[in-house]
Chains A and B, each alone.
Chain A
Amino acid sequence: MSMLSRIIPKPVTSFLLLVVWLMLNVSVSPGHILLGAVFAIIIPLLCAPLQIPQPKVKRPFRAVRYVLMVAGDIIVANVQVAILVIGPMRRIKPGFIAVPLDLEEDFPITILANTVTMTPGTLSAELSKDKNWLYVHVLSMPDDEQEIISLIKQRYELAIREIFKC
């Protein structure tokens, strides 16, 4: 392990910490950059023993594309849910579904569960202990529940698997 990677074990986390510090202070003065850099080095070192090893993002550009896709879906979700909420209540057909997961590690599953919550009319409610099933509450169920399961699997889970190559 080189000297640099010992001082900065997580360069992305350190960089994010620095950026967030500068944004919080709305300043790019040398003093704040120095202070932010000190935090960016010390905090990851202090937190290193708490880290549980997680799979790394193997394809960062796919990750960026995924974030943009989800951001677009969130806006669509908002409009759809808004129309449902204002419209007649009989159109709301709630229900639970269980989505079988192909992801195995905690971090990708967390991302999938959070994505499901943020996107159209679905809300992740629980994960089975064996990490094979994600229970999802759906605000407006289509007649065939497989439709929504395959949407989650193909649109989101596949993209996450590509990001982590697992």
Chain B
Amino acid sequence: MSFWVEVTVSVLLLIGGTFVLVGSIGLLRLKDIYCRLHGPTKATTVGLGGILIGSVIYMSHLHGYLTLHELLITLFLVITAPVTAMILAKVAMHHRAKMMDKTRNQHMVITARAQRPPETENEADDTK
């Protein structure tokens, strides 16, 4: 295996690994469920993408022909990750999950839960 292929694959693996690690750190450090959702849905797309592209290059070089089925994993991930995030956010709203105190527009959760259009801040205060 040529030197440059090894370097490329290593760099891709390192980038991918770093982003997956950051996603996990995000899960640990962020304080409420809504913020935690941002970590995995984003950091893992590039993280896993990097690892999988590394795998495509490595396996293609090893076999001598193009192997692309790793890209399917990326495809399925990109399709499913946003749906999962939205369902989790919905569940969190219905469970009245705690939010960080400095979260702005907290009143919007009330109308969002009922799938109603948002009210202005004053109206929301009246209906509490």
Size category of the binding interface on chain B: 35 or more
Is residue A152 contacting chain B, with contact meaning CB distance below 8 A? no
B29 touches A89 (CB 8 A): yes
Contacts of B37 in A (CB 8 A): 123, 137
Contacts of A137 in B (CB 8 A): 34, 37-38, 89
Tell me the bound Cα distance from A20 to B102 in angstroms.
46
The smallest beta-carbon distance between A72 and chain B, in angstroms, is: 11
Q: Is the CB of B81 within 8 A of A117?
A: yes
Determine the chain A residues whose CB is within 8 A of the CB of B72 once the complex forms.
Answer: 20, 23-24
Query: With the chains together, A40 CA to B115 CA distance in Å?
Result: 38
* A89 to B108 alpha-carbon distance, docked (Å): 23
Partner of A77, one of B22, B42, B100, B103: B42
Q: Which residues of A contact B81 (CB under 8 A)?
A: 117-118
Tell me the bound Cα distance from A140 to B76 in angstroms: 28
Q: Please tell me if B95 contacts chain A, counting CB pairs below 8 Å.
A: no
The reply to whether B86 and A82 contact each other, CB–CB distance below 8 Å, is no
Do A117 and B41 touch (CB < 8 A)?
Answer: yes
For A81, list chain B residues within 8 Å (CB). Answer: 22, 26, 38-39, 42-43
Interface string of A53-93 (1 = CB under 8 A from B): 00000000000000000000011011001100110010011
Sampled A-B contacts (15; CB under 8 Å): A26-B69, A74-B45, A82-B19, A85-B22, A85-B30, A89-B29, A92-B35, A94-B103, A95-B103, A98-B105, A124-B89, A125-B112, A126-B93, A132-B117, A145-B105
Chain B contact residues, CB within 8 Å of chain A: 18-19, 22, 25-26, 29-32, 34-35, 37-39, 41-43, 45-47, 67-69, 71-72, 78, 81-83, 85-86, 89-90, 93, 99-100, 102-106, 108-109, 111-113, 115-118
Closest 8 CB pairs of A and B: A95-B104, A117-B82, A125-B89, A98-B118, A85-B26, A114-B82, A78-B46, A96-B108
Known: A81-B38, A133-B117. 14 other contacts (CB 8 A): A24-B69, A24-B72, A81-B26, A82-B18, A89-B31, A92-B35, A94-B102, A96-B104, A96-B105, A96-B108, A123-B34, A126-B112, A129-B116, A145-B105
